Amino acid sequence: MGAAAKLRRRFEEGEAGLGSYYDRLLPELERIQRDLNCFTSITIGLAHQTIERLEKKAASGQPGGKLFGVPVVVKDNICVSGHPTTCSSRILQNFTPPYDATVITKLLAEDAVIVAKSNMDEFGMGSSNENSAQGAVRNPRDPARAPGGSSGGSAAAVATGVVPIALGSDTGGSIRQPSAFCGVVGLKPTYGTVSRYGLVAFASSLDQIGPLAADADTARLVFDIISGHDPKDTTSIPQESYPSRTDLKEFKGLRIGIPREYFENDIQPEIAAAIADLKERLADSGCRIIEVSLPNARHAIATYYTIADAEASSNLARFDGVKFGHRTAGASNLAEMYTTTRSEGFGAEVKRRIMLGTYVLSSGYYDAYYRKAQQVRRLISQDFERAFQQTDLLLSPSTPTTAFKLGEKVDDPLAMYLSDIFTVSVNLAGIPAISVPYGRDGEGLPIGVQFIGPRFSEYQLLEVASQVEQLNDA
């Protein structure tokens, strides 16, 4: 049983009272906020409202939902009605959405308690959580280090053990990379299985919401709740194609592919050693290890940053000082109002992406960059399809290094982009993947390993992640 289910049972069996639990939890949240800067806001009002409702429900003898009383943190690009959603950007500093994202409606329907919105890289753009208008998040495993990004606040909060669940979003690795850096489990679902309604768009063809959790069981519980068809999201997949929990393949005999090209990259020796060790133990447990080739893997970073920036430049056009958030004071005409609002409102990395994205979409360059990237995206997807003809899942590191120091890569965008080398292809192909902790490096920092599966293989991935947790604890 996972951490969330255990906590729910304590409430259910009367071992813990909601009131006293939350009286202790709220100061804990304030403490980790002081230490780590992991939240953009603590939603005390909403938490109290929910607790009151849950207490009444319990008193009337009604059964509690699957997350009865369980505290959940929500990345600050997911709308919670009546609470600020800033995307850690100055431009949305005063934006309060009047509606809940579908994932929030679903969590609340299962009696979860939303306790905080989490700090992130501005609009999801970054791999260290340093691109935040509110400042960097610190990694609880070592406060001098980055928690990863862009869901850094979510990963840090779960890693403290204070909350068992956080929601994140993953456009190119933003759930898996911070999960690896902080030593928690992170699932990026198949594109279209979790509604994006109420998620502030970064790159719409890549964005997916998913859980960061204390353990694989808890991630499974959250995925169960937040997945499902949503008519409010036109890219949501119809119910009949959804992942099934019943036809899981047995662990013994599972064919696990090792993508040769991934290991041609610079990988921290302890991470390569962790993968080698895991391969052996999986083989000992009866899995079949098969080397596979993903020949277009080396184009993944260039392809991802072309497509993601193109979509971002278009999506972020709506932040113009008219419809949402910040508007500059004292511009003398409309054009000046737009330029000054956007110059003041966006941080350096977001501006870089908007300019790159506008460039690759501009007439004369569209064919050379954007169209070409779309063609390579297709090739990357086909590489995976071919690999899954001979294997059930693929195994790789989640990241080429463990958590790096804060400040180490801020002046070198390319070095920062390269920390996504193992995660971005999965988003380009729309397939699911999970990062799960396995081993530590010489400094005691957690190592994350990634399993990648074909569309709708979430439950298989979660099952394997549970097995890896057991191997890691053994």
Q: Verify binding: residue 100, ligand GLN, rule CB under 6 A.
A: no
* Residues 417, 444 contacting (CB under 8 angstroms): no
Q: How far is the CB of 201 from ligand GLN (least distance, A)?
A: 11
* Residues 117, 29 contacting (CB under 8 angstroms): no
Q: φ, ψ for residue 145 (rounded to 5)?
A: -110, 160
Collapsed DSSP state (helix, strand, coil) of residue 56:
helix
Apex CA 94: angle with CA 30 and CA 43, to 5°?
30
Binding to ligand GLN, residues 334-393 (CB under 6 A):
none
How many residues line the site for ligand GLN (CB under 6 A)?
13
Q: How far apart are CA 406 and CA 423, in angstroms?
A: 21
Q: φ, ψ for residue 185 (rounded to 5)?
A: -95, 135
Tell me the CA distances in angstroms from 429 to 15, 244, 385, one per residue in order.
Answer: 46, 20, 9
Q: Verify binding: residue 65, ligand GLN, rule CB under 6 A.
A: no
CB-based contacts of 465, cutoff 8 Å, min separation 6: 185, 216, 219, 434, 436, 451
- Whose Cβ is closer to ligand GLN: residue 253's or residue 407's? 407
Strand partners, 147: none
Binding to ligand GLN, residues 4-43 (CB under 6 A):
none
- Whose Cβ is closer to ligand GLN: residue 392's or residue 420's? 420
362 is catalytic: no
**Centroid of chain to Cα 355:** 25
Stretch that binds ligand GLN, among 124-132, 228-236, 252-260, 445-453 (CB under 6 A): 124-132
Q: Could you give the string, one character per residue 193-212, with x where binding to ligand GLN holds by CB under 6 A and - elsewhere?
A: ---------x----------
Q: How far is the CB of 422 from ligand GLN (least distance, A)?
A: 12
- Whose Cβ is closer to ligand GLN: residue 126's or residue 153's? 126
Closest residue by beta carbon to ligand GLN = 174
- Whose Cβ is closer to ligand GLN: residue 177's or residue 466's? 177
Dihedral (Cα; 398, 403, 406, 409), 10-degree rounding: -50
Both tokens assigned to 450: 């990634």
Binding to ligand GLN, residues 73-92 (CB under 6 A):
none
Q: How far apart are CA 350 and CA 121, in angstroms?
A: 10
Q: How far is the CB of 297 from ligand GLN (least distance, A)?
A: 17
Q: How far is the CB of 9 from ligand GLN (least distance, A)?
A: 34
Q: Which amino acid is residue 367, in one-letter code?
A: D
- Whose Cβ is closer to ligand GLN: residue 125's or residue 274's? 125
Q: How many CA atoms lie within 13 A of 87 on its CB side?
A: 27
- Binding residue for ligand GLN (CB under 6 A) from 69, 97, 126, 153? 126
- Binding residue for ligand GLN (CB under 6 A) from 308, 373, 406, 428? 308
* Residues 336, 403 contacting (CB under 8 angstroms): no
For the four alpha carbons of 183, 451, 226 and 353, in that order, the dihedral sign comes to: positive
- Whose Cβ is closer to ligand GLN: residue 171's or residue 466's? 171
Q: How far is the CB of 137 from ligand GLN (least distance, A)?
A: 14
Measure CA of the first residue to CA of the last residue in the chain; give whole Å: 17
Exactly one of 88, 132, 169, 174 is catalytic; name it. Answer: 174
Q: Verify binding: residue 420, ligand GLN, rule CB under 6 A.
A: yes
Which ranges in 362-407 belong to alpha helices (H)?
372-390
Exactly one of 127, 150, 398, 457 is catalytic; name it. Answer: 150
Binding to ligand GLN, residues 147-176 (CB under 6 A):
150, 170-174
- Whose Cβ is closer to ligand GLN: residue 2's or residue 172's? 172
- Binding residue for ligand GLN (CB under 6 A) from 125, 310, 406, 468? 125
Exactly one of 41, 75, 188, 227 is catalytic; name it. Answer: 75
Q: Verify binding: residue 47, ligand GLN, rule CB under 6 A.
A: no
118 is catalytic: no
293 is catalytic: no
For the four alpha carbons of 433, 437, 438 and 444, in that order, the dihedral sign comes to: positive
- Whose Cβ is closer to ligand GLN: residue 88's or residue 150's? 150
**Centroid of chain to Cα 92:** 20
Q: Verify binding: residue 458, ligand GLN, rule CB under 6 A.
A: no
Task: List interacting residues with ligand GLN (CB under 6 A).
Answer: 124-127, 150, 170-174, 202, 308, 420
Residues annotated as part of the active site: 75, 150, 174
